Amino acid sequence: MSKISYPVIILNYKNYEQTIGRRGLALSKIAEEVAIESGISIAVCPQTADIYLIAQEVDIPVLAQHVDANNTGSYTGNNLIETLKEAGAIGSLVNHSEHRLKLADIESVIQKSKKLDFYTCVCSNNIQTSKAIASLEPAACAMEPPELIGSGVSVTTKPELVIQTLSAIKEISSAVQPLVGAGVTTSNDVAEAVQMGAQGVLLASGFVKAKDPKEVLQQMAYALKK
């Protein structure tokens, strides 16, 4: 279960207090349970310092929240792909709206990741940047309208935007899995996203801050099984 299959639910832990250290491990255990019982692929994105702890303990894909493009050498404070892999991450989010990268760096990260068999889910913010990212052929492209991130209003309330983006990505490269995110909080949001053509969703507070994260995730996974 260390590879991502589709449809996928990717859980971004951000810097939320509820996800630090052993609390993030507990959430990851929940994600693992739901993944096993539902058969739906669920990946978790802890903070970098928590990757090793979580990857040792759960058998679901662990992604970093950010990765740097540089090679090994005299770089201080960067997250090297080689190191993330050895710590147990199978890939990384790239260019999240809260950690935007220069175009040249997004491209370098994707190229280096391909060579090292490292999964990249590159975030975009509209149709145009989704097309640009799709042309770079990452493993997945997750479109998130910035104004809806953390809003509780789902990206699926903009069906035209979602449908046009997903079809634009597919048209440019069938190798890039199109995902959506922002404001995804209910199983209905997840169901709609997939009905519109998404191969999965990226969410954060909708899971992390839920009163009952397990119940929410079960319902989301169930919505994807239909």
Catalytic residues: 96, 144
Comparing CB distances to a copy of itself, the nearer of 136 and 194 is 136
CA–CA dist 128, 159 (Å, integer): 16
- Is the Cβ–Cβ distance between 168 and 126 less than 8 Å? no
Kindly give, in sequence order, each residue whose CB lies less than 8 Å from that of residue 53, ignoring residues fewer than 6 positions away.
21, 22, 24, 25
Selected from 27, 30, 93, 179, the binder of a copy of itself by CB under 8 A is: 93
Q: Does 12 sit near a copy of itself (CB under 8 A)?
A: yes
CA–CA dist 132, 135 (Å, integer): 5
Q: Does 98 sit near a copy of itself (CB under 8 A)?
A: yes
Q: Does 83 sit near a copy of itself (CB under 8 A)?
A: yes
Residue 79 C-beta: closest distance to a copy of itself, Å? 6
Residue 62 C-beta: closest distance to a copy of itself, Å? 11
Per CB under 8 A, contacts with a copy of itself among 48-67 are 48-53, 64-66
- Is the Cβ–Cβ distance between 209 and 19 less than 8 Å? no
CA–CA dist 181, 204 (Å, integer): 9
Q: Does 97 sit near a copy of itself (CB under 8 A)?
A: yes
Q: Does 153 sit near a copy of itself (CB under 8 A)?
A: no
